[in-house]
Structure 1
Amino acid sequence: MNRTPLIFILALFAYPLALLAQFNSEVEAQITMETKNILTNITFSAYNKTTLNKSLSYKALITKNEKINSSITQFEDQQYFVIESGQQKNISTATLDLSKGERTIIFILIYEDEKVIGKDRMVINGFEGEDEMKPKVITNKKPTSQQKSQQAQDIDLLTSLVFENTKTKPGRDFYQMFYLAYNNNNIKGNKMVKVDEVLAIGGNTQIQIFAGDDLVVQFFLNPRSSYIKEMVDQSIARVNYYFQQNKAIRQNTIQY
């Protein structure tokens, strides 16, 4: 069983669900479903409302909750795509077996230059009022304390996601090692983490690690495995320290 995965760690979009109206203003993300027998076909699409052609990227994720406080990733996909002015375009598809009635969360983020410009989210076998993003309710239930706990976990799922934008094999090697270490150290951040690889002087590349919009780590990449391992250890320590300091500041702010 796969837990929340490599290319997608994070726990609900670094933005509250209530802010959905601020997104989709130029490019609208949309999730549609069609059920046949026990199988449900999921289609992720984008609609370019502007007069310009756009080069974008997306990240799609589907998770199932087989029991309270656990989530199993069923599907993940991330790709770059080009969409023309005024075009409605299907960008990814998935097929699910929903016959067991598990609570299933589906969401998609659309990026332009690493900024989220569109998103959509859907809950299958959820409960009324679960969030403010039009949950698809197949089994009607009133929220219980367990469901409220699960709802909080969903938010943690999306803010603990680790995204990557690497360009070379050493960059991908660093990201994979960083991701595993991030999970193994059980880092509980309140912001999405992003690992970027950018071009630097002399054809070299540079790794930049962001927590939300804050640059936490930056260094030139070297392909030696021992160097990558050392930088993973240092990066994990810095990111963990950043979140600990951030938590302390928030707690002090609340107290005063």
Structure 2
Amino acid sequence: MRVIISIFLLLPGLIKAQQSLYNQEIKAEVLMKDKGGFLNITGVASNLTNAEQGIRYELAVIKKDTATNNSSKNNQTGRGVLNAKSQAILSTTTVNLNIPDILTIMLLIYDDDDKLIGKDVQRIEPNTFQLEEKKVNTYDGIEIRGLVTRNLRTAPARKFYDYFYKQYKKYQLNGAKVVTINEKFGQGRSTRIEVLVGTEVIYQFFLNPTDDFIKEMGDYVVRLVYQQFEKLKAIEAAINNQ
């Protein structure tokens, strides 16, 4: 009996110690907002360190039917690079609120070695009507900063990305939209690079693996991204001044 009691006494300490392993360098946070019967869910990552961090994330919404105990899972995953002392919106999704299901929302963040470093789990009880709103705390007053993602397969594409990102950091663009570098395969052995700011494709080109071409295109794409950021800032300023 003394052994069983000792185990129960140790459990809170073990749970607390386990929780302290996460969110030390990269903090995971699930934000929720009620939108008229729908629940908007946002997964946010905060880099608390002074160095950039490559991450992989998983935002999962698990619904458990209280009548049958059956569960369903909606999963969103992705990869990216977080700048030092930056915060980024990783993923968003929407589900019905006020339903007879238990909702579990889970954001997991892994480092480049696939080690779990950030974790946040929220639970919504069945037939919930109101939620306590949670605000996004940022370093510079902007919700999303400095996230660059890539979906690449070949060595030349990774070489282009490395050069582009080096220039991106050099000029401290740190834009208010996610920059995505995708590699698309064409006919034969050709490969095409697609550059997005937010959800808009701003440029695409067929990749030549030579160093001179990669540097030339890397510099050109950095200028295009900068111009797109400036354009978006001008549009936002015009809207705010109306």
TM-score (norm 1): 0.49
Q: Residue 184 in 1 paired to residue 162 in 2?
A: no
Q: Percent identity?
A: 26
Paired letter, 1:40? L
Query: How many residues were matched structurally?
Result: 164
Structure 1: unaligned runs, 5 residues or longer: 1-32, 45-58, 65-70, 92-103, 111-115, 125-130, 136-149
1:63 aligns with 2:63: no
Counterpart for residue 140 of structure 2: 153
SS in 2 for 1:35: helix
1:223 counterpart SS class = coil
Q: Cα distance, 1:133 vs. partner?
A: 4.9
Does residue 235 of structure 1 match 2:213?
Answer: no
Compared CA separation, residues 37 and 203, structure 1 to 2 (3 A): closer
Q: Deviations over 1:120-167 (max 9, x none)?
A: 48899xxxxxx95599xxxxxxxxxxxxxx7243745x4320011111
**Among candidates 17, 21, 29, match of residue 36 of structure 1:** 17
Show the 5 A alignment for 1:141-220: 151-153=138-140, 155=142, 158-220=144-206
CA contact (8 A) 1:166 1:196 kept: yes
RMSD (CA atoms): 4.6
Note if contact 1:162-1:192 (Cα within 8 Å) is conserved in structure 2: yes
| Offset of residue 63 of structure 1 | 2.7
TM alignment of 1:65-104, pairs within 5 A: 71-73=49-51, 76-78=54-56, 86=72
From the CA coordinates, give the structure whose radius of gyration is larger. Answer: 2
Instruction: Report the CA distance between 1:208 and its aligned residue.
Output: 0.6
Please say if residues 193 and 204 of structure 2, whose CA atoms lie closer than 8 Å, have aligned partners that are also in contact: yes
Instruction: Quote the offset at 1:255 in angstroms.
Output: 2.1
Matched letter for residue 77 of structure 1:
I
Q: Deviations over 1:210-243 (max 9, x none)?
A: 0111111210011111100000000001111111
Structure 2 stretches lacking a partner, 5+ long: 1-13, 29-42, 59-70, 78-84, 94-104, 109-117, 121-131
Q: Which has the higher contact order (CA 8 A, sep 6+)?
A: 1
- Report the residue type matching 1:169 in the other structure: A
Determine helix, strand or coil for the equivalent of 2:21: strand
**Counterpart position of 2:230:** 244
